[in-house]
Structure 1
């Protein structure tokens, strides 16, 4: 196979972090935070239990048995609170879980199944469940520390610190519950979900290079010497561990790795995922755990996933079952904003240099035309019957024509012409046709 040149403009790229994919994978799970909280609260309880035993030992050594009796009186009153918390906390957790299920069902049905991941990645949701489960576990552990021995000379431990800690966790649980309900109500609003999707998409754009030139430019990758195939399970390529790939070629001068599928592509076993240029490929051990495959796309390295979700929300809103063009206009607002953010940025490929500034890794990105088609093609097909959407799309295309460089205006002009022609065919009345083809940033208002 002939060598391939790298398209796009090189920019300074932030050094990849080795733990970045792992961190993103953990954020996409719901078990890690609650499990970590329960392990942590067990350690805290153990330390509090030792502290309580030390306090009783110090008082007994000083002969302050009256003080021990007072502590026993306080903890006996607190035992009622701890017992009540232990019995009621699981019911409280069930209520919170029910609220989450309702919110997930509404978001999946009205917006898009792909926005469910926003709820899963919500920090306040995970923190609420983690603190609730930790409080429940702590109350059970504290109940085991109460000593039924009434004689202060014989008692071994009085759970004063543990009781105070339990009361503190109950207060923290109530505070998080209020914050959780507020956050869930916000996530059930269409505008907030669209804003969250857009925010995650812009975080990825912010990590892209901005300036042109710099060290490590390369015109030709050199001859392709080998290809590395995917040997794991079939699924969507979620992300690539760039730091590990750069380490794999660190001691191989002249070797450049080129990622073949884009992030978000579906790969099956045997699919080539890496092309090696300029030398022999790294060992299989060095390339292990560099390509991660899952059941769904993520925002971590997928430039087009934000547009995909926004387009899905707009299409669902324009369906006859929902018929909500205002939501489609809100999604178009963010689509135009996203395309404006990348209009002057290098696309097509992203190159990662080593510590010496030499390009050693090439990652494919969607091109400008692909992103424009992803943002407008499907919505344009459904916008003909909705003047509110057609007016907003025309205004968005006009704004992008002003912002995009000359060589990127072709796809925008094509979509504008296709939308105009479709409306002219579908709307027979000249007055209605002129109204539907009048650009308006609010649609109709």
Structure 2
């Protein structure tokens, strides 16, 4: 029913999807920041009260009067901060959202997720809100009694903490502006997408194995819930349920597929299907794809950027060439991997979950099909495509030679050669002049120098 496997496998983390889901939200970091602010204010208020009590017990009224004077001086600054911070937050983030909208219109709407997932954006917003709330709390903590012998608390530590948060807000504002300006630069956006795409490949690199037996399919489990894109699955939970039931589960749709209620989502091999309650919340469906477990999402975004750049409304072949550079980079990493399916282990080293992923041919088609078809009349793009395909053909030949006879590595060159032949056919059909055709099909890693 299942096959013990070697050390190439890695066990899934127990809460693997949770961190990624929180990163795709914008509310969690500010909410956590506000909770920390209330805790910090409570601690600072307790310290201030303790300091006043100690000074009153020792009858150090002169020192207490000095503290009251310092706190009153700080009150002016805190009042200014309280009135200005919320307005500052609104203006800064309104301008930032306009910049993000411009970037999404120029590149692809999916770049908005870079802004949403940005740590510096969330940290800046959280600190700004925390500073505003802290200033309000400190203002409320000021005692109207000016007599040192009657005052119950002097918010000196609270005021110092607020000043520190203002300084931190200014530093983060500089970093935030720099980060937002980078989001408007196509090179940064493309590099960010490609790094995340390659990271997904590296994360799944040890999960491929060839020759694992699943056993006979005994049941299928239908999806129940709202229709949407399959974002990810809770691998650790599915492995745990499969191990308790003594079966192997196989994910039928790929990550990124659109699923509707009633369609089969899991196949059971080697035994009875687990109870449906045990599989609750093991499949995550949303309105858009994420990078977490989606092997092809990075290529999809890079292809979208290249297509948008080659559209008549934009007509920016240089941006398309930059996207092709990163497409070639991604495929150069994927060419050495078996692909096909991921296998996840239980504690005993037995396969309990099989997850289908795009094959090498699927990735090559996703990378080049649409871009190749709109390369007509753009010699810069056709030359870069020729150079990229030639480089990948060489890498594919080395991969086939290094893994000769192993399943999953056959015909790595075939899809590349097919796209190369189709590109040549496109140029020959659309460029009438022989000299122009020869120029458009000359491999060049910069497009046109």
Same fold (TM over 0.5): yes
Shift of 1:108: 1.0
Match of 1:434 among 405, 426, 438: 438
Residue 94 of structure 1 pairs with residue 105 of structure 2: no
Q: What is the count of residue pairs matched by the alignment?
A: 436
Query: In structure 2, the residue corresponding to 1:15 is in which secondary structure?
Result: coil
Match of 1:229 among 198, 208, 222: 222
Higher deviation after alignment, 203-212 or 177-186? 203-212
8 A Cα contact 1:335 1:375, kept in partner: yes
Distance (whole Å) between structure 2 residues aligned to residue 32 and residue 349 of structure 1? 33
Q: Which stretches of structure 1, 4 residues or longer, exceed 6 Å deviation after superposition?
A: none
Higher deviation after alignment, 9-18 or 143-152? 9-18
Match of 2:326 among 312, 334, 350: 334
The correspondence of residues 93-172 of structure 1 with structure 2, limited to 5 A, is 93-172=89-168
The runs of 5 or more residues in structure 2 that have no matched partner are: 401-410
8 A Cα contact 2:9 2:207, kept in partner: no
The correspondence of residues 189-338 of structure 1 with structure 2, limited to 5 A, is 189-210=185-206, 218-253=211-246, 255-338=247-330
CA offset digits 1:385-426 (Å, max 9, x no partner): 100000000000000000013421000000000000110010
8 A Cα contact 1:14 1:207, kept in partner: no
Shift of 1:15: 1.6
Shift of 1:357: 1.1
8 A Cα contact 2:37 2:130, kept in partner: yes
Distance (whole Å) between structure 1 residues aligned to residue 137 and residue 60 of structure 2? 27
CA offset digits 1:279-315 (Å, max 9, x no partner): 0111112101100000000000000000000000000
Shift of 1:234: 0.5
Shift of 1:364: 0.2
Distance (whole Å) between structure 1 residues aligned to residue 206 and residue 125 of structure 2? 40
Query: In structure 2, the residue corresponding to 1:30 is in which secondary structure?
Result: coil
Residue 420 of structure 1 pairs with residue 412 of structure 2: no
Q: Aligned residue for 2:40?
A: 44
Q: CA RMSD in A?
A: 1.6
Higher deviation after alignment, 332-341 or 406-415? 406-415
Residue 76 of structure 1 pairs with residue 72 of structure 2: yes
8 A Cα contact 1:229 1:271, kept in partner: yes
8 A Cα contact 1:384 1:419, kept in partner: no
Shift of 1:36: 0.7
Shift of 1:94: 1.0
Shift of 1:212: 7.5
Distance (whole Å) between structure 1 residues aligned to residue 363 and residue 213 of structure 2? 26
CA offset digits 1:164-191 (Å, max 9, x no partner): 0000000000000000001111111000
Query: In structure 1, the residue corresponding to 2:231 is in which secondary structure?
Result: strand
Distance (whole Å) between structure 2 residues aligned to residue 241 and residue 33 of structure 1? 23
Query: In structure 2, the residue corresponding to 1:104 is in which secondary structure?
Result: helix
